[in-house]
C-alpha cells in the first residue's frame, strides 16, 4: 500500500491522475488530505481517484498509527510547510503526525516538493537535513520561477524503485536502445522502424531494481525518465564506439538497439532526384560479436528480430547468435506474429546455451521483468 499525502500546493490538482496511475500499477492508495489541500481539490475527487475514503484529520481510529507501516509514504505535492515541520518533528495535524510515526517504522518516505522557486531555495537546508536522515526527495522542475510538479510517470517509477527489493542494487548495467541512421547523402538516410519502446521498459525495470544504468540511445520515439542519463548517438559506428568505451565498467550489457546491418556509400552532396541511382552497401560492424572479447565476464543479453518463422526456426536463430556472439541470453522476437488481443505485445522465445523458454505473446513490460529475473540470478 502507498499512503498518498496531498498538501496545499496548487499542484494538488495533479494528484488525481497520479493516484489513478498508481492503481493501474496495482497499488492500493490510501489518501491523506491536508486542511489547505482541501482548498485546492475536493476530498470527493481524491476518494474517486484512490477508491478509498480520504483521511482529513485524526479520529479515534488513530489513522497516523494505522497507516504508518506501509510500503511507501508519498507526499505529493509537498509544500515548504510540511517539509519544514517534518525537519523539526512538529506533529500538529494528521499528515505531520503520520510522517513522524512512519520514520520510526523505517517506512520509505518520498517528498515531491512543489512551490515557488524562492521558497524551494529557502528551505534547502531543511531538505538537506532530511536527506541525511534517509528521507527521499524527487526533484521538481525548476522553470518560470516555480519548482513544478514532475511527470507523474517519473514519480511512479521512483516509487516502484523504493518499494521493490532492488535485487540489482549497485550493479552496473549497460543498455543500448533505439535505431541507428545511415546517411546516403547530407539529407537522406536509411534506418528501420524501431521505436525504443522495448528499450524503455528495460530501462524502467533496471532502474526499479536499483541498478546503475548507462544508456546509449539511437533515434527513439519515446520520452526518457528524467532520472536517466542518456548518451545519444546517430549511426552504427558511433553506437559501436560508445559501447566499446562503456563495456569494461559494467556487469551486464543488454543490447536492445536495432543497429543498421549495412552502411551505404555516402555522397558528399545531395543526390539529384532527376536521375535513378544505385547505392552500394557494406556490412556494418557486428558489435555484439566483439563484446566478449572486450569484456569476457559481462553478462550479455542479445535481441534477435525475425519474421514469420516457426518456433523451431526461431530457437535455431537464437542458438546461432549464441554461437557467434557468446551471448548468455538471446531474446528472439517474431515480428510477423500479431496478437489477436490488439494490444502492444510481442511473440518471444528466451534462448540460452542449454535451454529455451517459449513465452509466446507478452507485453514489453512483462518481458523486461522476465529478462531481469534471469539476469539477477547470474550477476
**pLDDT score at 328:** 96
The H helix count followed by the E strand count for the chain is 13, 20
pLDDT 10s digits, 292-337: 999 999 999 999 999 999 999 999 999 999 999 999 999 999 988 8
Mean of pLDDT values over 156-181: 96
Give the mean model confidence (pLDDT) for residues 200-220.
Answer: 97
pLDDT band at 343 (very low <50, low <70, confident <90, very high): low
CB burial of 222-247 (b: ≥16 within 10 Å; e: otherwise) equals: bebbeebebbebebbbebbebbeebb
The answer, yes or no, to whether residue 10 has pLDDT greater than 60, is yes
341 has a pLDDT exceeding 70: no
Residue 353 has pLDDT above 90, yes or no: no
Whether 185 and 266 have beta carbons less than 8 Å apart is answered as yes
Q: Does residue 275 sit in helix, strand or coil?
A: coil
Instruction: Label residue 277 by pLDDT band (50, 70, 90).
Output: confident
Question: For 119-168, what is each residue's pLDDT tens digit?
Answer: 999 999 999 999 999 999 999 988 888 899 999 999 999 999 999 999 99
CA pair distance 300, 298, nearest whole angstrom: 6
Residue 9: pLDDT band with limits 50, 70, 90: very high
| Residue-wise pLDDT tens digits, 63-116 | 999 999 999 999 999 999 999 999 999 999 999 999 999 999 999 999 999 999
Question: What pLDDT is recorded for position 342?
Answer: 54
29 φ/ψ angles, rounded to the nearest 5 degrees? -130, 115
- Mean pLDDT throughout 177-186? 94
pLDDT for 141? 86
Nine-digit cell at 215? 544508456
Q: Quick check: 344 pLDDT over 80?
A: no
Q: Where are the domains of the chain?
A: 2-163, 172-378
Over residues 356-370, the mean pLDDT reads 95
For residue 336, the model assigns a pLDDT of 87
pLDDT value for 95: 98
Asked whether this chain's domains 2-163 and 172-378 adopt the same fold, the reply is yes
Contact yes or no for 112/76 (Cβ under 8 A): yes
Q: Out of 3.20.20.70, 3.40.47.40, 3.40.50.1950, 1.25.60.10, select the CATH number for domain 2-163.
A: 3.40.50.1950
pLDDT in tens, 237-261: 999 999 999 999 999 999 999 999 9
Phi and psi at residue 226, to the nearest 5°: -70, -15
According to the model, what pLDDT value does residue 339 have?
72
pLDDT of residue 266 exceeding 90, the answer is no
**End-to-end C-alpha distance for the chain, whole angstroms:** 30
Domain 172-378 grouped into CATH 3.40.50.10300: yes
Over residues 15-70, the pLDDT tens digits come to 999 999 999 999 999 999 999 999 999 999 999 999 999 999 999 999 999 999 99
Amino acid at each position: 500500500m502507498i499512503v498518498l499525502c496531498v498538501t496545499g500546493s496548487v499542484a494538488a490538482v495533479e494528484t488525481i491522475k497520479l493516484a489513478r496511475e498508481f492503481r493501474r500499477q496495482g497499488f492500493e492508495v490510501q489518501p491523506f488530505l491536508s486542511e489547505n489541500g482541501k482548498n485546492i481539490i475536493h476530498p470527493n475527487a481524491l476518494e474517486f481517484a484512490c477508491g478509498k475514503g480520504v483521511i482529513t484529520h485524526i479520529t479515534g481510529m488513530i489513522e497516523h498509527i494505522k497507516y504508518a507501516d506501509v510500503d511507501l509514504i508519498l507526499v505529493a505535492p509537498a509544500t515548504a510547510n510540511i517539509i519544514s515541520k517534518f525537519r523539526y518533528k512538529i506533529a500538529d495535524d494528521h499528515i505531520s503526525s503520520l510522517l513522524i510515526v512512519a520514520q520510526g517504522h523505517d517506512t520509505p518516505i518520498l517528498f515531491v516538493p512543489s512551490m515557488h522557486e524562492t521558497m524551494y531555495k529557502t528551505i534547502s537546508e531543511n531538505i538537506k537535513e532530511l536527506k541525511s536522515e534517509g528521507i527521499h526527495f524527487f526533484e521538481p522542475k525548476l522553470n518560470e520561477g516555480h519548482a513544478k510538479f514532475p511527470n507523474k510517470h517519473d514519480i511512479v517509477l521512483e516509487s516502484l524503485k523504493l518499494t521493490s527489493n532492488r535485487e540489482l542494487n549497485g550493479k552496473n548495467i549497460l543498455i543500448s536502445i533505439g535505431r541507428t541512421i545511415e546517411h546516403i547523402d547530407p539529407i537522406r538516410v536509411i534506418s528501420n522502424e524501431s521505436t525504443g519502446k522495448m528499450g524503455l521498459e528495460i530501462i524502467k525495470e533496471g532502474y526499479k531494481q536499483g541498478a546503475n544504468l548507462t544508456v546509449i540511445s539511437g533515434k527513439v520515439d519515446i520520452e526518457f525518465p528524467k532520472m536517466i542519463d542518456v548518451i545519444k548517438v546517430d549511426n552504427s559506428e558511433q553506437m559501436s564506439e560508445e559501447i566499446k568505451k562503456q563495456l569494461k565498467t559494467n556487469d551486464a550489457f543488454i543490447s536492445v538497439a536495432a543497429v543498421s546491418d549495412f552502411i551505404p556509400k555516402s555522397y558528399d552532396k545531395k543526390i539529384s532526384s532527376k536521375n535513378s541511382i544505385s547505392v552500394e552497401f557494406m556490412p556494418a560492424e557486428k558489435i555484439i560479436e566483439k563484446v566478449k572479447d572486450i569484456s569476457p565476464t559481462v553478462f550479455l543479453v542479445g535481441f534477435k528480430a525475425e519474421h514469420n518463422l516457426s518456433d523451431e526456426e526461431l530457437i535455431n536463430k537464437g542458438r546461432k547468435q549464441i554461437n557467434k556472439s557468446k551471448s548468455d541470453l538471446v531474446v528472439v522476437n517474431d515480428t510477423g506474429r500479431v496478437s489477436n488481443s490488439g494490444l502492444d505485445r510481442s511473440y518471444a522465445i528466451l534462448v540460452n546455451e542449454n535451454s529455451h523458454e517459449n513465452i509466446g505473446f507478452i507485453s514489453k513490460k512483462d518481458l523486461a521483468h522476465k529478462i531481469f529475473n534471469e539476469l539477477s540470478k547470474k550477476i
